[in-house]
């Protein structure tokens, strides 16, 4: 059964399975039976009853839903539905537990498993970005600040920056996974009034969790907030990269283009359209994940030892965020792998300013080697730059036609000002920092 919230368009079966009702109840049952096993070893649950529970415990989602309509409590409905299939030994099911012992521990397990899928997704994206970065390590393009030409760089460096950010995202995900892989079976207000800490420790070990050092009736929601805000940051990273591709795909730029299939259509009205719909989808879904992360922060403040104001929100926000981000990662990985890069267009756009992008180096040369005051040098260079910009002139030609600049620096030194390699000389060092760390 798929979650009813995130639409199937963005729901991958592997991630959907984790958040399905079937898996949620199966995880609850796993916790119940692990507790039964621990209690059997302590002589609380008879061995015969334990064996019956392990043999006959099963459930039907529809039956649980039907009972819940009567009792208005999902855990009671679940326990009742399982007990119907067990018989008299069902009285030992849920022994000493409170609902949140099961629900919160199960949520930790499901979140942990969902994070494992995202980590795998993220590793695939990082590999794709790395491969394209290496491919375009020396593909020269113009760097832009405020959307305006700044100085030369390479497309590979842009991708290396993405990879470094994704590596930080991965570390954050791994940290969040460790934080949420926490269980609790400490009872109604966390005092172990019915089961001892030794039972909790044993059950958590069997489930691959770490016992919460202390809890109220629920696992404190700062752990969940850490997971959800981490998802929000990762979504923000993908949004950043997707926005960059969208900008570089503008008709006036056309430096990169997300994959466009041979039979794909971009517009119902304009046959020429090749729109960055994949990147736009990533940007749109990032808004959902980010908004959901804010809900997790609001879920932290509960009344006293617990209330359930967090519960209704989490049923929506946590599965939807994981389903959306799982889709976003896989979609963007495909975009990166199939990204069309127009190196010739990049070089053409860089050259369109006719040397304007070298104004910063000319400023430095006039101050360092020419001995001019920075204010004077800036005024001279900016005068030529603004004239070239406003009149679409040739900045380099104008500089070489300025006798004072030529006299100050000499023609040979002036030629070095306009050398492209100056801006690319540390590319190998930057790549080593990112990919050999």
Q: Please report the pLDDT score of residue 265 as a whole number.
A: 86
Share of the chain above pLDDT 70, in %: 98
Q: How many residues make up the chain in this entry?
A: 437
Name the nearest CA neighbour of 360 among 381, 391, 390.
381
CA distances from 284 to 118, 235, 277, 296 (A): 19, 10, 10, 20
Rounded to the nearest angstrom, the gap between the alpha carbon of residue 215 and the centroid of all alpha carbons in its chain is 29
- Which token pair is 327? 């889709």
Other CB atoms within 10 A of residue 156 CB? 22
- Identify the CATH assignment for 1-95 out of 2.40.110.10, 1.10.10.10, 3.30.70.980, 1.10.275.10: 1.10.275.10
CB 113 within 8 A of CB 18: yes
Confidence of residue 185 (pLDDT cuts 50, 70, 90): very high
Nearest C-alpha neighbor of 188 from the set 283, 99, 56? 99
Average pLDDT over residues 245-264: 94
Instruction: Compute the distance between CA of residue 266 and CA of residue 11 in angstroms, rounded to an integer.
Output: 24
Inform me whether the pLDDT recorded for 3 exceeds 80. Answer: no
Q: Please provide the average confidence, as pLDDT, over all residues in the chain.
A: 95
Q: Kindly report the pTM of this predicted structure.
A: 0.94
Catalytic center residues: 146, 267
Beta strand extents in 98-253 (DSSP E only): 140-145, 148-154, 182-183, 210-211
Residue 317 pLDDT > 80: yes
């Amino acid at each position: 059964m798929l979650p009813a919230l995130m639409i199937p368009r963005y729901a991958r079966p592997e991630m959907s399975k984790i958040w399905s009702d079937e898996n949620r109840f199966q995880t609850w049952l796993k916790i119940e039976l692990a507790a039964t096993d621990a209690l059997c070893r302590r002589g609380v649950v008879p061995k015969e009853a334990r064996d019956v529970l392990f043999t006959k415990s099963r459930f039907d989602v529809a039956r649980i839903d039907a009972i819940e309509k009567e009792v208005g409590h999902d855990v009671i409905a679940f326990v009742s539905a399982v007990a119907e299939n067990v018989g008299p030994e069902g009285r030992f099911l849920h022994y000493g537990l409170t609902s949140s012992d099961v629900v919160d521990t199960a949520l930790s397990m499901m979140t942990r498993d969902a994070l494992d899928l995202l980590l795998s997704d993220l590793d695939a994206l990082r590999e794709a970005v790395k491969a394209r970065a290496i491919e375009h390590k020396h593909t020269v393009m113009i760097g832009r600040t405020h959307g305006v030409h700044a100085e030369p760089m390479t497309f590979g460096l842009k991708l290396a920056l993405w990879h470094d950010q994704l590596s930080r995202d991965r570390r954050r995900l791994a940290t969040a996974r460790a934080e949420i892989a926490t269980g609790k079976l400490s009872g109604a207000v966390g005092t172990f009034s019915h089961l001892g800490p030794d039972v909790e420790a044993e059950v958590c070990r069997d489930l691959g969790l770490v016992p919460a050092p202390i809890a109220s009736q629920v696992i404190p929601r700062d752990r969940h907030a850490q997971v959800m805000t981490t998802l929000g940051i990762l979504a923000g990273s993908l949004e950043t990269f997707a926005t960059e591709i969208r900008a570089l795909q503008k008709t006036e730029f056309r430096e990169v283009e997300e994959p466009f299939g041979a039979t794909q259509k971009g517009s119902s009205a304009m046959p020429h359209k090749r729109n960055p719909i994949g990147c736009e989808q990533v940007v749109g879904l990032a808004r959902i994940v980010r908004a959901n992360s804010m809900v997790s922060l609001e879920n932290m403040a509960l009344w006293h030892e617990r209330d359930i104001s967090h519960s209704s929100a989490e049923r929506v926000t946590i599965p939807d965020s994981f389903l959306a981000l799982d889709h976003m990662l896989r979609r963007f990985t495909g975009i990166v792998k199939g990204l069309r890069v127009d190196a010739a267009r990049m070089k053409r756009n860089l050259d369109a300013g006719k040397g304007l992008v070298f104004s910063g180096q000319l400023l430095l040369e006039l101050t360092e080697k020419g001995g001019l005051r920075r204010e004077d040098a800036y005024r001279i260079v900016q005068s030529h730059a603004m004239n070239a910009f406003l009149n679409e002139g040739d900045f380099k030609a104008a500089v070489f036609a300025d006798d004072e600049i030529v006299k100050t620096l000499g023609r040979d030194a002036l030629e070095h000002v306009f050398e492209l390699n100056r801006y690319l000389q540390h590319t190998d060092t930057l790549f080593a920092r990112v990919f050999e760390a």
